[in-house]
Structure 1
Amino acid sequence: MKAMILAAGRGERMRPLTDATPKPLLMAGAQPLIGWHLKRLAEAGVKDVVVNHAWLGKEIEARLADGAEWGVHIAYSPEPEALETAGGIATALPLLSDVPFAVVNGDVLTDFPFARLIDAASRLDGVERLAHLVLIDNPEHHAAGDFSLDANGRVHDEPGLTFAGIGVYHPALFEGLEAHRPAKLAPLLRAAMARGQVSGEHYRGLWHDVGTAQRLAEADAIARAWI
């Protein structure tokens, strides 16, 4: 299985920190934020990773290089400007092959065991199941939540839990989207949910959204304990 890390965001809420440093390269402990994902993906056996970028993309490529520092191989999907999540994924599809792949937001810190995504990918068939989402308890800054999870492991378009920005997708979910065109992920997921094609799991471990300078400081404190 391949994985994609979303790293194209501008990080407006974290300016001026992100004026000269792309958000995924901000430090949390001994690693840039994205480095923790690369490390944990490698430990889970996921060695081929696609990273998209837009803002300060050359800095991302210069720092991560080919990924050997983390035991992975990185392919890059540059975007002249951020294409939203689905647009970025659709553009990167030629690098992701024609089988299910994992996608992780580059601006979260988590100890989620990525090996679970490999098992989830094996259950996506492009017909009955198009996506598998990791959901978490609602953080204070997103108290309303996004989706709900039923007893059979199906995800529904009703508030209840928060989408963690970690998922596995079948390429068929993005059928019809044009590469290099902005497109949001949520409408695709909601349409698939309405057809019963999205499964999920509730993760209760560490998940920390790094969306502000204060939350970056908190992520840094958490990651220092991992050193």
Structure 2
Amino acid sequence: MKAMILCAGRGERMRPLTDTLPKPLLKVKGKALVVWHLERLARLGFKDVVINIAHLGFKIPGLLGNGSKWNLNIIYSDEQDEGALESAGGIKKALPFFDDETFLVVNGDVFCDYDFDVDFDLKNKLAHLILVPNPEHNRDGDFGIKDNLLVNNVDINYTFSGIGYYSPKLFKHLKQGKASLAPILRNEIKKQNISGEIYNNMWHDIGTPQRLENINK
């Protein structure tokens, strides 16, 4: 399985830190967020990784190179001319990289100890999302879950972790350009095409300077 790390966002809530640095290059314990992901992906058997870049994107290849340092092959999906394409748009642009096979996507600005599964089987589903208990900044959550299937508009929701396994079929009919992931997921959830699970161990969305300071403490 191949993996994608989403690294193209502007990181408005992280300003002024992101005025001079892409958010995935911000450091936890002296190591860039994206490097934590790369190390874990390599350790768990992944070989090929695509990273999309936009805001100050040139700085990311400048640090990571071709991935050989981690025995990985890194390909960059460059969105610097278009501006960030959002999650679904970024995935759509990178879709040829995945050769019509299931792939993993992880947000570049999360810090977690989730073990990415290089052999994950979607079976007949279009996606499988990792959910987490709701953090303070997202108390209402995003999706519910029942019998391992995601559901919309329920009383008890969980937060989408930014980690998921996807079939290219989910994005096949999406037009190139800027596109949000949530509406696509919600539409397929109605059709019972999205499975999921709840992850209860370490996970942090490093979305503000305060959260970055907290995790470093």
- Fold shared per TM-score above 0.5: yes
The equivalent residue for 1:202 is 198
Deviations 1:14-45 (A, max 9, x none): 11111111110011113100000101111110
TM-score calculated relative to the size of structure 1: 0.91
- Partner residue in 2 for 1:100: 102
- 1: CA distance, partners of 2:8 / 2:150: 27
Structure 1 residue aligned with 2:144: 148
- How far apart, in 2, do the equivalents of 1:169 and 1:213 lie? 31
- Displacement of 1:95 in angstroms is 1.5
In terms of fraction of residues, the more helix-rich structure is 1
Whether 1:60 and 2:60 are equivalent positions in the alignment is: yes
- Name the counterpart of 2:159: 162
**Structure 2 unaligned spans of 5+:** none
TM-score normalized with structure 2 length: 0.95
- 1:118-160 C-alpha deviation (Å, 9 max, x unpaired): 343x234xxx41000000000011000000111x211111351
Secondary structure of 2:5 counterpart: strand
* Distance in 2, Cα, partners of 1:199 & 1:60: 32
- Give the aligned partner of residue 89 of structure 2: 87
Q: Tell me the equivalent position of 2:215.
A: 219
Confirm or deny: 8 A CA contact 1:35 1:70 kept in the other structure: no
CA contact under 8 A between 2:144 and 2:150: conserved in structure 1?
Answer: yes
Matched residue, 2:29 = 29
SS in 2 for 1:158: coil
Q: How many residues align?
A: 213
Listed as ranges, the matches of 1:37-76 within 5 Å are 37-76=37-76
Matched AA of 1:165: G
User: How far 1:67 sits from its partner (Å)?
Assistant: 1.1
Paired with 2:29 and 2:108, the residues of 1 have a C-alpha distance of 16
Q: Which residue does 1:182 correspond to in 2? A: 178
**d(CA) in 1 for partners of 2:183, 2:148:** 20
Residues of 1 paired with 2:216 and 2:72: CA distance? 23
Counterpart of 1:26, as a letter, is L
After TM superposition, give the deviation of residue 94 of structure 1 in Å.
Answer: 1.2
3-state SS in 2 of match to 1:95: helix
Q: Secondary structure at the match of 1:145?
A: coil
Letter in 1 for 2:111: L
Cα shift at 1:101: 0.2
SS in 2 for 1:60: helix
**Which letter maps to 1:77?**
S
Identity %: 51
| Secondary structure of residue in 1 paired with 2:152 | strand
Letter in 1 for 2:113: D
CA deviation after TM superposition for structure 1 residue 219, in Å? 2.5
Q: Determine the C-alpha separation between the residues in 2 that align with 1:219 and 1:67.
A: 26
